[in-house]
Amino acid sequence: MSTRRKDHKGRVLKMGESQRNNLTYEYRYVDSLGNRRSVYAPTLVELREKEEKIQRQLMFNDNYAAGEITVMEMVEHYLSTKQGVRQSTKVGYQFVLGVLRKEEFATRKINTIKVSDVKRWVVKLHNDGRGYSTICSVRGVLKPAFQMASDEDVIRKNPFTFKLTDVIPNDSEHRIALTKEQQETWLNFIREDETYRKYYDEFIVLLHTGMRVSEFCGLTKKDLDFEKRRIHVNKQLIRAKSVGYLVEKPKTKSGDRFILMSDQVYQSLKNMLANRPKVKTEMIVDGYKGFIMLDQNGKPKIALHIENEIRWSLKKYSQLYPDKPLPHITPHVLRHTFCTNMACAGMDISCLQYMMGHADAGVTLNVYTHVRYETAAAQMARIINFGLPARDENERKIV
């Protein structure tokens, strides 16, 4: 019987382990493609930690190739390939993982999943009270994860390719735009209310620029050009539990843009700067400082601050005027309303796309605009001169 190798301290070395002349350690193994590999470590303990990771990965590779990993393991493997994504995207991934951890479906082996299994699971999520948008988010991760497995011939077919609305109804709230009367009612209430009047200028800027709320929070003094009366939108400010405050680029490449200051926006921005709290030390976030909106602690406001301001103001309004209800208002509703107002006023779609920072004009047309009959009828009448006397007989002729 051959004597097992030992290191200089007399410890027995496992198969594949060896100690080098400089007293460091080496582990040799064959990867899943049949290639010989080596890893090194200064101590035997560290080497065996690496060995354990390698063995787990080799076992995973073997199981993956056979379709024997679970749905959760596959999703985690897929997400490990998504490097360099935005922090907000990472938060979305963590949300989906949180949903999956509570589901028995996530423990199933991927080679056992059929289309009917997925459809039944989607129905279960819906019956459990998960909203349509949540289910879309979950599907938005699982579908490409299964597609990756399908492309690598781990499974025969992606079971997530069906249309979601064929299985569950889209019961999510449709985006709304406030009517002119609703805008006036809410803003008049804000302007006159002793508690919420201090937020009036913030709401005016959101309503009359169409900025995303994270873009609004990301504005600094340097982004405001009062001489040329324009706002430079070039970043968004967010706050994540794991990393705190951070600045990211706009949502799309088209998000870097300039927005005209209307008279109302010009005055509201001036008011906001005049009423901005005095701070001894400006907080710097990723090299930026001088954010125009600060909370009571002197830190930059984030989207949650604005959302709470609107929510609390609506709650008070509904208590005071229960017989004059207003729809649910959010910063995004104000953005929709701005876009709709501009579209109804006749702004060219390419110009409106630029102002909204949309990468695709189809989004501007199909999602963010809500043209009503009155507006459509007025424009139609103007175009065909319907119901109006012609200026001369030639205008009555149809060519």
368 tagged catalytic: yes
* Alpha-carbon gap, residue 142 to 160, rounded angstroms: 8
* Alpha-carbon gap, residue 222 to 194, rounded angstroms: 31
* Alpha-carbon gap, residue 252 to 101, rounded angstroms: 31
Alpha helices in 152-250 (DSSP H): 180-192, 200-209, 213-217
Q: Is 286 left (phi over 0), alpha (psi -120 to 50) or beta?
A: left
* Alpha-carbon gap, residue 163 to 139, rounded angstroms: 11
Buried b (16+ CB within 10 A) or exposed e, 244-261: ebbbbebbeeebebebeb
Catalytic residue among 368, 370, 382, 391: 368
335 tagged catalytic: yes
Catalytic residue among 126, 208, 212, 239: 212
The residue with tokens 């594949």 is: 16
The answer to whether the CB of 175 falls within 8 A of the CB of 370 is: yes
Q: Nearest Cα to 212, choosing from 347, 358, 92, 350?
A: 358
212 tagged catalytic: yes
* DSSP state, residue 220: B
Catalytic residue among 139, 251, 270, 299: 251
The answer to whether the CB of 356 falls within 8 A of the CB of 342 is: no
Q: What's the token pair of residue 144?
A: 């490409």
Catalytic residue among 335, 370, 373, 396: 335
* Alpha-carbon gap, residue 336 to 313, rounded angstroms: 19
CA 295 from centre of chain: 23
The answer to whether the CB of 199 falls within 8 A of the CB of 313 is: yes
Catalytic residue among 143, 198, 232, 332: 332
332 tagged catalytic: yes
Handedness of CA 299, 301, 302, 307 (dihedral sign): positive
Catalytic residue among 239, 305, 358, 370: 358
130 tagged catalytic: no
Active-site amino acid positions: 212, 251, 332, 335, 358, 368
